[in-house]
Structure 1
Amino acid sequence: MPTKPTYPGVYVEEIPSSVRTITQVTTAATAFVGHTRRGPLNKPVRVTSYAEFERRFGGLTSQSAVAYAVHQFFCNGGSIAVIVRVAKAGSGKAASVTLDSTEGRSQCPVLEITAREPGVWGCGLRVAVDYDTPAPEETFNLRVFDARGEAREFFGGLSMDPCHSRYVQTVVNSGSTLVRAEVVGEGEGRPDPSGTVSKPFSGNLPDLGVELTVKIGDTEREFVLYDQDEDGEAPCSVAELALLLERKLRALPDAPGRHDFAAAEVTAFGNRLQTVAGSNDPEAVVRFVGECANDLGLEASVNPPVFALEGGEDGEAPGPRDLVGSEARKSGLQALRDVDDVNLLALPELAAYESTEDMITVLAAAQRLCREERIYLLVDAPAAWSGVDAVRTGIAAFEPVRSSHAGLYFPHLQMTDPLTGRLRSFPPSGAVAGVIARTDGERGVWKAPAGTEARLADVHSLSVRLTDRENGLLNPLGVNCLRTFPMVGPVVWGARTLEGSDARESEWKYTPVRRLALHVEESLHRGLRWAVFEPNDEQLWQQIRMNVSSYLHTLFQQGAFTGGTPREAYFVKCDHDTTTEEDVENGVVNIVVGIAPVRPAEFVIVKVQQMAGQFTS
């Protein structure tokens, strides 16, 4: 606010700067769309490492080209990937289990636990229920275990009452990444606890000096519950009885290779006991048999230690329609419209398509998305292209989808499959995306992602070994070749767009030129939002010129443009010449930006001249 002078002297005011910074957006966040082992369907998920991809999407499987492409992306220097899992429509089923309750008049289902995502992976999940809460007669706890038997999630103090602050559906569905909960039936009563639960002990504990027989699965053992000479003072409370029984069970010999007794747990809740075998095997049911066990009431209810989810089915690999998706439902490729930062797109499954028509259908939809969202598409050569002649014949099919927003890469990579240890052919888009990300980080988006620095990590060989002559046949067609050179190894040896064939003479011939332009466009698109609803006058135009010029000058200093001076490298116009009175009346401000991008030195020609004689001084 302006300072109001009240006394003679010097006043200091801080005036906000009129220059608003335009931040450079990301350049190499790569989207992978296709089939994975698990994960949410048609929902973009950002991952920053392959370990995170394994946790969210299940890791490598021979049925998923996307999983291998993501692995190669991170191995070659990628840092941000956006995964969209797609499955064939109508396929796939989530594993589930229905928990019953005997608290009502009769046994009835009350709670259904379902894996959060479809797939066989959900069959490895287990859930356990106990009543060890501050209100053991009203609430319950729910634990979720993974396929390794490790406890992954815990939800305590749950209630079946919709009005309760810890209503099971609300708490689990908002907090779990593994399962969803749904109250079924009339929801009367809580789900029965896991393991074996006793009847309530009232008043003083009964005589505990009895011999008990316990069975876990097929293993049966006998023991004396309380011996004064061995155990000392007798238990006086249910909690002390729980400790005694747990100690006795853990001292019993286990079956070979089992830990059912050794890791058994006995918990006291209220005035009851819950006994659970030390195993996540649903068959490891604890049973106390005999007259003494009945007298103590150790078997009011008997359940397995965990309840296993069943019935999960993997979705089938998506077809062309599934990959294209629906813009209305935001499925398939169209799910990327909800993501702000995606710069590259890879569809590794297309390389295996036998039908060229299906491939072109998906590529057409992908390129339309890329034009609208300012994304660059990495196209894998079809697996059927086994040589140069096949490429020269098959490239004609790509005429309908030749675009400056895409680049085609040939041939495929020969790499060791981590699942089998054998060499196998893989489409190159994942590895190329990693090389692009690495190049952007080291040199900038204006550097061609090709050359001896563009090495392909962990690549044993290429499916087709190209010579210089063969490379010279494909490069003018807009095909980016992968080559192998002595002392260097496999590298990316082309940086053209699909529109970059010599016959087209396109101004967007080179990949780095197109990607630099996309980078500038997206940065300006986001960085100038502040101008919306500002007064459309000379003051606004001056601020826009200052902001855009400052941004472009930063790129110039980094080496993105040609020219020895800023005037030769870029210009920004925003004044009465670009914005007429009619534009002002219509609320339009026009900004004209020109840049002189650096083009790659695709052909380095060295001329050698032999000296005819010797010169003497």
Structure 2
Amino acid sequence: MPTQTTYPGVYVEELPSSVHSITTVTTSVTAFIGHTRRGPLNRPVRVTSFAEFERRFGGLTARSPVGYAVHQFFGNGGTVAVIVRVTKAGTGKEACATLESTEGHSRCPVLEVHAKEPGSWGSGLRLAVDHDTPHPHETFDLRILDAHGTVHETFSGLSMDPGHGRYAETVINADSALIRVEAVGEDRPDPSGTVSKAFHHELPDLNVELTVKIGEVEREFTLYDPDCDGAPPCDVAELALLLEHKLRALPDAPGKHAFAGAEVIAFGRRIQVVAGSTDPRDVVRFLGECANDLGLEASVNPPVFPLHGGADGEPPGPRDLIGSEARKSGLQALREEPDVNLLALPELASYESTEDMLTVLSAAERLCRERRIFLLVDAPAAWGGVDAARAGIAAFAPVRSDHAGLYFPHLQLTDPLTGRLRSFPPSGAVAGVIARTDGERGVWKAPAGTAARLAGVHSLTVKLTDRDNGLLNPLGVNCLRTFPVAGPLIWGARTLDGADALESEWKYLPVRRLALHIEESLLRGLRWVVFEPNDEQLWQQIRLNVSGYLHSLFEKGAFQGGTPRQAYFVKCDKDTTTAADIERGVVNVVVGIAPVRPAEFVIVTIQQLAGQFDG
């Protein structure tokens, strides 16, 4: 009703809707856990392309099955991956450097710099410091470069005063993706390169011969020649330009760019000279009495300060992959990560110990069951044929689960690093096909068949026949096959609980994944119910909301049956929620679905008709 009526007429008021729609959640966000070249340890990071994976985790390396699995995932249609970097405990190390200052009476450390993540990649970082700021006697600039001299981050106007708005430790640690710093002194770090003494307002006589040495290369030149250089410099800025021009004109050593890329920066009444190089050995030194008279020997440092000591760390063992729930490491890092639907552990396939593999799979299966995730299991690399697979599958009895599916055999692809054929576990490519199928058809469509082509796959490590497939399929092993024209395909869609002998109701992978999808969607979509009055009005709203959601799936072909009544039901009333339940604060919702099961066996019966036609 309007809050106030003042004249006869019609009043219009908008009322909020009582319908709480249930939205569908993601279905194919895949988590990859294992060793990478770089990246934060034990922290889930989402990437949406392999280019982003390269940027955040260092791309491919022969020691990382995860890198190749992610590459195959995106190559087969994957869209979102969650990466958890894990290394063997105590083996990864951050590169570091300590910046010093001579502003006091002696040289002392003032700023400790660490690569933000462990790994040898950090040893390729270089730091360049200058005082070319609006307040050259109080603040400084810091640039972060790579070994090729490319600037990746720049922080300007930094201060070592904790009360300053640009306090170095606060600004860098908040904004840098490459480093973190710790202030261990109060003075500013010295600039990189050679820094002169302060020039007076009137410059000294510049018509002098100077000797400069960069690294091991020594050259002589005239700083200012009135016959060739025109008008003499009038201030420090013009002097810096003249000196830079002179240095760049000097011949370099073969293969070097130290002189040709030299830079001279003017700040305040001083100049700073750095070699055009990121080699710390290319120190710029001005030699002789003339250099001393001009104050060019005041402070001599390398052109950049390198970080050093970074170590990638060893690939993780079983304990590292399982991780700690308290520290949220390894698998346990996924516990608070939303919207993860598939899990791949490509490193397990190379384990020589079946016991170690099953230990990790057991922990992964428990996590998947708790978080409604489906686990993609790679067949062990040791399964070199059908007989080995039939004998080896018995060892998986402790981890047979309707939340997992096993794929055999491995894939043969061209290794982008070497250009040669190499075998890879299939979970990354399979996850990509599942994501592609979900996007094109829906989570209820089996990710198998002629549409489930494995892109980029040259061949399979074991070529399976129909007879071989017939031996493995009843055991719950999803086979990868190669067919003429179609190429390599996924030719199985069973869970590990889908062996014929087990007679599980969750035999088929699409049925299990559809149920997980519905469970997660309802879990999130019904949170509004908590603390609402537990009465018939609430039950009616629940029935309306859940039925609307299920009907949208029915219209897309997710269920069997020609009518909604045949496809699903929702029951929430006094029969499901008794007076005793209401007293305990419980509301019970019963949902039934009739999922579409895949057609594994297509039987064609041909009958020959005789004597039906006249000759």
Q: How does 1:499-510 map to 2 (within 5 A)?
A: 499-510=497-508
Shift of the alpha carbon at 1:5? 2.4
TM-superposed deviation, 1:609: 0.6
Shift, 1:520, TM fit: 0.4
Matches within 5 A, 1:74-473: 74-184=74-184, 187-473=185-471
- Equivalent in the alignment of 1:12: 12
Of 605, 612, 616, the residue aligned with 2:610 is 612
Alignment of 1:496-535 (within 5 A): 496-535=494-533
RMSD value, Cα: 1.1
- Displacement of 1:248: 1.4
Aligned to 2:562: 564
SS at match of 1:503: helix
Aligned partner of 2:13: which letter? E
Q: How many angstroms apart in 2 are the aligned matches of 1:597 and 1:50?
A: 34
Other structure's SS at 2:189 match: coil
Q: Distance in 2 between matches of 1:530 and 1:116?
A: 40
Alignment deviations for residues 287-318 of structure 1 (CA, whole Å, 9 cap, x no partner): 11111110000121001111111111111110
In the alignment, is the contact (CA less than 8 A) between 1:76 and 1:438 conserved in 2?
yes
Q: Distance in 1 between matches of 2:463 and 2:135?
A: 71
- d(CA) in 2 for partners of 1:214, 1:131: 23
Q: Secondary structure at the match of 2:227?
A: helix
1:47 alignment partner in structure 2: 47
Cα separation, 2, equivalents of 1:533 and 1:230: 87
Task: Provide the C-alpha distance between the structure 2 equivalents of 1:419 and 1:168, rounded to a whole number of angstroms.
Answer: 40
Aligned to 1:539: 537
Amino acid paired to 1:556: F
Tell me the secondary structure at the aligned position of residue 376 of structure 2: strand
1:389-439 C-alpha deviation (Å, 9 max, x unpaired): 111111111101000000000000011111111111100000000000000
The answer on whether the counterparts of 1:104 and 1:188 sit within 8 Å (CA) in structure 2 is: no
* DSSP 3-state at the match of 1:533: coil
Worse-matched range after superposition: 489-498 or 384-393 = 384-393
Worse-superposed segment, 45-54 or 259-268: 259-268
Bigger mean CA deviation after superposition, 144-153 or 130-139: 144-153
CA deviation map 1:111-162 (0-9, x unaligned): 1111111111111111111001111111111110123321000111111112
Q: Secondary structure at the match of 1:228?
A: coil
Structure-1 separation of matches of 2:452 and 2:276 = 53
| Contact 2:201-2:235 within 8 A present in 1 as well | no
Shift of 1:616: 5.5
TM-score, reference length from structure 1: 0.98
Q: Does the 8 Å contact 1:169/1:182 carry over to 2? A: yes
CA distance, structure 2, for counterparts of residue 602 and residue 156 of structure 1: 65
Cα distance in 1 for partners of 2:445, 2:225 equals 81
**1:550 equivalent among 548, 551, 576:** 548
For the residues of structure 2 that align with 1:405 and 1:147, how far apart are their CA atoms? 46
- 8 Å contact 2:161–2:186 — kept in the other structure? no
CA distance in 2, matches of 1:246, 1:314: 39
Q: Is the 8 A contact 1:3 1:11 kept in 2?
A: no
Contact residue 3 and residue 13 of structure 1 kept, 8 A: no
Deviations 1:466-514 (A, max 9, x none): 0001100000000000000001000000000000000010000000000
Scaled by the length of structure 2, what TM-score is found?
0.99
SS in structure 2 at match of 1:451: coil
Which structure 1 segments of 5+ residues have no match?
none
Instruction: Report the alpha carbon displacement of residue 234 of structure 1 after superposing the two structures with TM.
Output: 1.5
Q: One-letter code of the match for 2:136?
A: P
Gaps of 5+ in 2: none
Determine the structure 2 residue equivalent to 1:36. Answer: 36
Rounded Cα–Cα distance in structure 2 between residues aligned with 1:480 and 1:112:
53
Q: State the AA in 2 paired with 1:216.
A: I
Whichever residue aligns with residue 143 of structure 2, its letter is R
Q: Distance in 1 between matches of 2:341 and 2:147?
A: 36
Task: Assess if the C-alpha contact under 8 Å between 1:405 and 1:514 holds in 2.
Answer: yes
Question: In the alignment, is the contact (CA less than 8 A) between 2:498 and 2:507 conserved in 1?
Answer: yes
Once the two structures are aligned, what percentage of the paired residues are identical?
78
